A and B are shown apart, each in its own frame.
Chain A
Amino acid sequence: MNFKEFIFVGLEGLRNNKLRAFLTTLGIVVGIAAVISVIAIGEAGKAMIMSEMESFGTNLFQVYPNYREGEPYRPVNFTKQDVAVIKKIAPEVKYLAPMKYDQGEVRSTIGKKNTRIIGTTADYKHIRNVEILYGRFFSEEDDAVGKKVVVLDEMLANDLFNVENPVGERVILQGSAAVVIGVIKKTESAIPGMTPDNYAYLPISSMPGGSRWENVGSLFGSAASKEEVYQAMERVKVILERRHNAVDHYAVYSMEQEMQTVSKVTGIIGLIISCIAGISLLVGGIGVMNIMLVSVTERTREIGIRMALGAQRKDILIQFLIEAIVLCAVGGLIGILLGYGGALIVALVLKLPPLVSWWVVLLAFLFSAFIGVFFGLYPANKASKLDPIVALRRE
């Protein structure tokens, strides 16, 4: 028999065992499709979280007072001069803004709302890539003269005013009047809680307590470039320690470090997802194994007949090998298509990027194919070693 005829005999075998072919294919399809779509969803989620974090800027870093457990609380403050000096002598620090958090009531002519208030400087706009919908963010001049201006985020603006553009309107913020000069565009985020909503931003100098910086919780900074982040962080820390004569009283974190933490978490999630995918692959594989074992064993008599008529062991093995390969290839192809489809649908529904890594496809396919071929050949090989008369007597 030549190769073409082997293929023909193999295909004939499949055509004549349609249910078995269907069930085997189904096992492979389900296994591969499940793995591809599950891993694609996991990868997409991971990518989404990372891109979300990157949109904050990877050059970002934060400076906090360093409280250590067991030590007495030593108050450290950030001063206006700290920021000015750092920006002056550390060129790697491009922007640096204080973050003074407060909470209070904001009233407009038509409503009032309890909101979170952030006192900062004009640098904040650059550090967080703030997108302005109407008006403008406050400027250094506004801050320098302690102008009573406020920037609202889109959600807060909608709650307080029934006009589209509230720039120029007045609000009463914690009892004192301020003019709305800008509205920050709401950033679309698929991750709940990632977008800061209901915030009012003031120049720090116009906050109650004037330009005193006692309650500044942290500094937000951005380095001149991604490569200079750690250098910038270190400079900031050293300068602060020297100016306050307080070694070890400041802690610096970069967004990159935070991202690493997050990526560790998403890595664990990914691992769990991979395990689930692996289990579905295994279940599919066991299905394939069962069908192959049963259906090929069932054909021991057929193998006996073929051997009685002159088939050699290799003829039998090649026939069953081709049957198994065709089943696995067809099943694998359908599985890959369905998996891609599933990943695409989920991606569309959740607005995630559809990500299917080729190695997942390859791994899932090779695994299923190996199972299919091995457990298709194993009983065929066993039967082909029997004396024909023994194989013929099997029912």
Chain B
Amino acid sequence: MIKVSNLRKVYSTGSVAVEALKGVTLTMHKGEFVAVMGPSGSGKSTFMNLLGLLDTPTSGNYWLEEREVSSLNKNELASLRNQKLGFVFQAFNLIPALTALKNVELPMLYAGVKPQERRQRALLALEKVGLGERLQHRPNELSGGQNQRVAIARAIVNRPSVIMADEPTGALDTKTGEEIMEIFEELHREGTTIVLVTHEPDIAKHAKRILRFKDGLLIRDEEVTNRTISSEEEVNHEL
């Protein structure tokens, strides 16, 4: 499903070049629920953005569903993001001017889905994430949990191959965060591939596999067997 080899990303701000990702190689299979963990500056978000085709790698290869995508042009990337990927961000990234329903319809608009079908599919997606009402409200009239539900509905509405969630519970309280994670678990049970970036062990424990990043490198790749996840400190201590 996803295969990367020696993926590198260098940011050059002025004269200083920062190597955010120093060569990562791994494979993810269809239906996996993977958590990417690591302290800030570890390169986990950079890794996520590269997987999400929101950013382009400096070097290395990336195969998304058997297709080499690291050297595609912007338009090809846009249509891949539209068709194959769904995004859930920490800051929701809903368009403030649009209603919940319109926000969910947006990916289908760019996919060329007919208005009537768009509406139907958006309603279904919203129902699935547990938001049956307040659909004509705008993001600033909704709670954080409701906004994140809208964002998840938007992420799944185009039936993507992978859902990329970057700290989806970062802006939410623990209880709401748990509710959101249950939605992800439900999606996982239905066979959706999920990549989740988090630094919270309690969130990561919902995943089935954990990738730990540090200083731009993948330092550990582990299956979650029991439901206790060691925190960053414990991992560091271990190492």
Binds A, one of B29-37, B76-84, B190-198, B222-230: B76-84
Contact B81 A309 (CB under 8 A): yes
Q: Within B98-137, which residues are at the interface with A (CB < 8 Å)? A: 98, 102, 106-107, 109-112, 115
Known contacts A389-B54, A392-B54, A312 near B78 by CB under 8 Å: yes
A52 to B155, CA, bound (A): 75
Is B87 interfacial (CB 8 A cutoff)? yes
Contact B110 A311 (CB under 8 A): yes
Known contacts A1-B109, A311-B110, A387-B54, A305 near B93 by CB under 8 Å: yes
Known contacts A312-B79, A389-B55, A1 near B112 by CB under 8 Å: yes
Known contacts A5-B109, A302-B95, A311 near B54 by CB under 8 Å: no
A390 to B83, CA, bound (A): 21
Contact B56 A387 (CB under 8 A): yes
Q: How far is the CB of A51 from chain B (nearest CB, A)?
A: 55
Q: How far is the CB of B147 from chain A (nearest CB, A)?
A: 13
A1 to B108, CA, bound (A): 9
| Nearest B residue (CB) for A16 | B97
Interface string of A296-339 (1 = CB under 8 A from B): 00000110111111111101000000000000000000000000
Contact B110 A309 (CB under 8 A): yes
Contact A305 B95 (CB under 8 A): yes
Residues on B with beta carbons closer than 8 Å to the beta carbon of A16: 97-98
| Chain B contact patch, size range | 20 to 34
Contact B54 A388 (CB under 8 A): yes
> What is the size, in residues, of chain A's interface with B at 8 Å between Cβ atoms?
25
Interface string of A11-39 (1 = CB under 8 A from B): 01100110000000000000000000000
Contact A9 B109 (CB under 8 A): yes
Is B12 interfacial (CB 8 A cutoff)? no
Q: How far is the CB of B41 from chain A (nearest CB, A)?
A: 16
B107: contacting residue among A1, A9, A302, A309, CB under 8 A: A309
Contact B112 A307 (CB under 8 A): no
Is B189 interfacial (CB 8 A cutoff)? no
Is B231 interfacial (CB 8 A cutoff)? no
Contacts A5-B109, A308-B93 aside, 14 further interface pairs with beta carbons under 8 A come to A5-B115, A16-B97, A305-B95, A308-B81, A309-B81, A310-B81, A310-B110, A312-B74, A312-B79, A312-B110, A313-B74, A389-B54, A390-B55, A392-B54
**Residue positions of B touching A, CB distance < 8 A:** 49, 52, 54-56, 74-75, 78-79, 81-83, 87, 89, 93-98, 102, 106-107, 109-112, 115, 154, 158
**Residue positions of A touching B, CB distance < 8 A:** 1, 5, 9, 12-13, 16-17, 301-302, 304-313, 315, 387-390, 392
